[in-house]
Amino acid sequence: MPNDAELIFADHAGRFYARQYGFPPMAGRLLGYLIVCDPPQQTIAGLAEALMASRSAITGAIQLLEAYQLLKRSRTAGERVDHFSIDPARIEPKGFDATIHREQAELMREGLALLPDDSSIRRAVLEELAALADFLSERLPELRDEWRVRRDKLRAEGKLPDMPEQNPLGGRPRQGPKPA
């Protein structure tokens, strides 16, 4: 059973991910709880009990977090129930993907094409948004690479632990989509 501090952290995570990323609060609470819970692998029933939520609310949150590839689903041989945990192989923020910014820049240029002779604020906004999106699409891959170098250095210095990539339950994880 979770302690009060774990539940408070889960509630804070729920509010943070709702406010910053538009997640339903339960998805953020689930993510927060899975980060700190012991054992780190939980069943739907265990999560529902711990977070005082319905199984359907937990299932919906799991589906959302799996779509973002933040969770790992596994099953121990001989068991009939899935266990869920944070996927350490997916801990890198998705915000480093430059694709969305390239698409946004293209979209803004499409808008600019609609206003070829316009000198109003509308055109200025589109031009600045296109320039920002271009900048982010160029810099984010560089930042991701810089982060990976720093992370590896911190791990080599013992300041960050290595992240296990194997399934801690010993069962075979279900195969999902490969990361981008």
The rounded distance, in Å, linking the Cα atoms of 148 and 142 is 10
The rounded distance, in Å, linking the Cα atoms of 73 and 63 is 11
The rounded distance, in Å, linking the Cα atoms of 87 and 107 is 33
Contact criterion met (CB below 8 Å) for 74 and 82 = yes
Instruction: Output 59 or 118, whichever has higher pLDDT.
Output: 59
Taking only the tens place, the pLDDT of each residue in 51-69 is 999 999 999 999 999 998 8
- Give the global pTM: 0.73
CA angle 21, 11, 13 (to 5 degrees): 35
Taking only the tens place, the pLDDT of each residue in 2-59 is 899 999 999 999 999 999 989 999 999 999 999 999 999 999 999 999 999 999 999 9
